[in-house]
Amino acid sequence: MKIQIINGPNLNLLGTREKSIYGESGFEPFLKELSSKYNSVEFSYYQSNVEGELINKLHEVGFSYDGIIMNAGAYTHTSVGISDAIAGINTPVVEVHISNVYAREEYRHVSLMAKNCKGIITGFGLKSYELALQSFL
Ligand code: DQA
């Protein structure tokens, strides 16, 4: 099974950024653990702070991979382009968030991409990615 993980803006700063919200761990060590736990899964990982690059990645993998786990960060709440890209590809996308976006500011309660995703997992820390993976398995 081929799974693409896509992280959007500011998620390159995990482990450094607002630790009380996003935790102490960087993404790479977490991904290392995840891939050794699920060693039959072929993981690819991509992070970008640039909206168009995230859309390009969705197009690139969205006709051949089995699943996409996407944390679009702040673009979740603003990007019609990312939402349209998800609608336009064949591979199912699960939207994930580290924090519980519904327990935070009101502008985080809206996801423009959710309607085009298979489901949403929010609020379980980095475990949200593992739960999304399990939904594909
Ligand atoms: C986030 C939640 C977003 O509202 C925020 O802009 C992020 C991270 C999360 O994983 O909790 O950058 O997607």
Spell out the SS3 assignment of the chain.
CEEEEEECCCHHHCCCCCHHHHCCCCHHHHHHHHHHHCCCCEEEEEECCCHHHHHHHHHHHCCCCCEEEEECHHHHHCCHHHHHHHHHCCCCEEEEECCCHHHCCHHHCCCCCHHHCCEEEECCCCHHHHHHHHHHC
Domain count, the chain: 1
What domain range is 48 assigned to?
A: 2-136
What mean pLDDT value characterizes the chain? 97
The interface predicted TM-score of the complex, written ipTM, equals 0.99
Task: For residue range 39-63, list pLDDT tens digits in order.
Answer: 999 999 999 999 999 999 999 999 9
Is the C-beta atom of 98 inside 6 A of ligand 1?
A: yes
Quickly state the pLDDT bin for 17 (edges 50, 70, 90). Answer: confident
Q: Which two tokens stand for residue 91?
A: 């591979």
pTM reported for the whole predicted model:
0.97
Task: For residue range 76-100, list pLDDT tens digits in order.
Answer: 999 999 999 999 999 999 999 999 9
Q: Could you tell me which of 15, 4, 84 has the C-alpha nearest to residue 41?
A: 4
Q: What CATH number did the domain enclosing 92 receive?
A: 3.40.50.9100
d(CA 86, CA 121): 16
| Ligand 1 atom closest to the CA of 72, numbered from 1 | 13
Is a pLDDT exceeding 90 seen at residue 25? no
Is the C-beta atom of 99 inside 6 A of ligand 1?
A: yes
Is a pLDDT exceeding 90 seen at residue 2? yes
